[in-house]
């Protein structure tokens, strides 16, 4: 054991400077990569329903311009309060797999190979969790943004779930598959319309549309949560006395949009409707102490919300306990 006074003094002041804000990658031959890169999944139960949250990874979005109706300084302050970067928002993607009534059901598919290099890890995560994409019976899509649908089809055209029925929100389908809507859309939005056609075009006749209030899998019912997109859906999951709400994209990162439910992310297509939906669902969940699964909360992206004046706080579950 080599102990020197100098090295102790050198180590001590450094410890007061705070941790690094971003994980860094240093692949090592004999070890898996960073925690953000290795396949990661978290399994829990809602009654008889087994839920597996799978870490598709993280994308980073410049903070500037991200919130439409708050000054950048306030947004940076909210990030700093949660010890997050103040230049970019690290956005987590968390698709779910449900085993319910003998069926294996994927809810949203992640980025596939179309997202950031630090995302698109759903399939390795799925395999690590012991599930083969061929064995998936149903894929339920909450809405048609790329980070939810691109995992259905790789860039080379490969269809990832050969044996699954594909369920999509009827109002979402009506909006995005409308050529009239596409032609009327601003140029910046045309890519999103085209991507929906790229993913669904070849299977359009087989896709099944669901309406709010309908069951999409045993114990899983669609919940209207429009605003983020015109047909955006959440889901109630119920089994026996246990329940949960899958709230999809009613918020982006909780540090910003659960804390400040009136803030509007640029991703929300109808900001007012999205805010009303967010308020309504968070209010009910806080009052009822309902467990929630977010798509964009930090992995494993499940917990509860508590009301705090006019704001909310996200309380993640304890790993291995909830």
Footprint (CB under 8 A) of a copy of itself, residues 170-229: 208, 210, 213-216, 218-221
Region binding a copy of itself by CB under 8 A among candidate stretches 82-90, 151-159, 192-200, 267-275: 82-90
The residue within the footprint of a copy of itself, chosen from 21, 170, 182, 185 (CB under 8 A), is 21
Q: Distance between CA atoms of 97 and 130, rounded to whole angstroms?
A: 11
Region binding a copy of itself by CB under 8 A among candidate stretches 19-27, 188-196, 262-270, 272-280: 19-27
Is residue 22 classed as helix, strand or coil in its secondary structure?
coil
Please identify, using beta-carbon distances, which residue of 172 and 193 lies nearer to a copy of itself. 172
**Nearest distance from C-beta of residue 8 to a copy of itself, angstroms:** 5
Q: 222-281: which residues touch a copy of itself (CB under 8 A)? A: 236-245
The residue within the footprint of a copy of itself, chosen from 92, 195, 248, 252 (CB under 8 A), is 92
The residue within the footprint of a copy of itself, chosen from 63, 67, 78, 84 (CB under 8 A), is 84
**Nearest distance from C-beta of residue 226 to a copy of itself, angstroms:** 18
**Nearest distance from C-beta of residue 215 to a copy of itself, angstroms:** 5
Tell me the DSSP string of 114-162: SS-TTB--HHHHHHHTT--GGG--EEE-S---HHHHGGGB-TT--BS-T
Half-sphere exposure for 78 (CA within 13 Å, toward CB): 22
Say if strands 41-46 and 49-54 run parallel, antiparallel, or are unpaired. antiparallel
The residue within the footprint of a copy of itself, chosen from 18, 71, 102, 117 (CB under 8 A), is 18
Is residue 97 classed as helix, strand or coil in its secondary structure?
strand
Please identify, using beta-carbon distances, which residue of 242 and 270 lies nearer to a copy of itself. 242
The residue within the footprint of a copy of itself, chosen from 95, 110, 261, 303 (CB under 8 A), is 303
Is residue 269 classed as helix, strand or coil in its secondary structure?
coil
Q: Distance between CA atoms of 200 and 203, rounded to whole angstroms?
A: 5
Interface size with a copy of itself, residues (CB under 8 A) = 98
H helix intervals, the chain:
5-14, 72-81, 122-128, 146-149, 170-176, 179-184, 187-200, 254-257, 271-288
316 makes contact with a copy of itself (CB under 8 A): yes
Please identify, using beta-carbon distances, which residue of 234 and 271 lies nearer to a copy of itself. 234
Region binding a copy of itself by CB under 8 A among candidate stretches 67-75, 189-197, 262-270, 296-304: 296-304
Q: Distance between CA atoms of 144 and 200, rounded to whole angstroms?
A: 10
**Nearest distance from C-beta of residue 60 to a copy of itself, angstroms:** 9
Is residue 276 classed as helix, strand or coil in its secondary structure?
helix
Please identify, using beta-carbon distances, which residue of 140 and 177 lies nearer to a copy of itself. 140
Is residue 195 classed as helix, strand or coil in its secondary structure?
helix
The residue within the footprint of a copy of itself, chosen from 7, 69, 178, 276 (CB under 8 A), is 7
Q: Distance between CA atoms of 279 and 202, rounded to whole angstroms?
A: 37
* 169 and 196 Cβ atoms separated by less than 8 Å: no
The residue within the footprint of a copy of itself, chosen from 70, 85, 154, 279 (CB under 8 A), is 85
Q: 121-140: which residues touch a copy of itself (CB under 8 A)? A: 128-131
Q: Distance between CA atoms of 105 and 98, rounded to whole angstroms?
A: 5
* 165 and 138 Cβ atoms separated by less than 8 Å: yes
Region binding a copy of itself by CB under 8 A among candidate stretches 67-75, 168-176, 196-204, 297-305: 297-305
């Amino acid at each position: 054991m080599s102990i020197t006074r100098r090295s102790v003094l050198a180590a001590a002041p450094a410890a007061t400077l705070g941790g690094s804000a971003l994980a860094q990658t240093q692949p090592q031959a004999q070890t898996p990569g960073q925690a953000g890169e290795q396949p990661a999944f978290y399994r829990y139960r809602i009654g008889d329903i087994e839920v597996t949250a799978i870490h598709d990874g993280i994308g980073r979005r410049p903070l500037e311009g991200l919130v439409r109706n708050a000054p950048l300084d306030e947004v940076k302050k909210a990030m700093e309060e949660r010890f997050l970067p103040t230049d970019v928002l690290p956005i987590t993607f968390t698709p779910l797999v449900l085993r319910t009534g003998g069926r294996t059901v994927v809810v949203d598919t992640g980025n596939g190979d179309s997202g950031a290099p630090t995302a698109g890890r759903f399939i390795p995560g799925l395999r690590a969790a012991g599930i083969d994409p061929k064995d998936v019976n149903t894929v339920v899509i909450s809405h048609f943004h790329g980070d939810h649908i691109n995992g259905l089809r790789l860039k080379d055209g490969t269809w990832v779930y050969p044996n699954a029925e594909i369920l999509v929100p009827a109002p979402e389908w009506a909006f995005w598959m409308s050529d009239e809507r596409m032609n009327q859309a601003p140029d910046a939005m045309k890519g999103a319309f085209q991507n929906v056609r790229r993913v669904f075009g070849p299977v359009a006749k087989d896709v099944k549309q669901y309406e709010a209030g309908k069951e999409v899998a045993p114990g899983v019912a669609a919940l209207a949560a429009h605003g983020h997109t015109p047909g955006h859906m959440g889901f109630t999951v119920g089994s026996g006395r246990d329940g949960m709400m899958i709230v999809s994209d009613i918020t982006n990162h909780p540090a910003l949009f659960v804390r400040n439910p009136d803030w509007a992310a640029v991703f929300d297509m109808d900001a007012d409707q999205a805010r009303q939906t967010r308020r309504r669902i968070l209010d009910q969940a806080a009052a009822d102490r309902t467990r929630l699964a977010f798509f964009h909360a930090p992995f494993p992206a499940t917990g509860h919300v508590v009301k705090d004046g006019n704001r909310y706080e996200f309380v993640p579950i304890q790993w291995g306990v909830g």
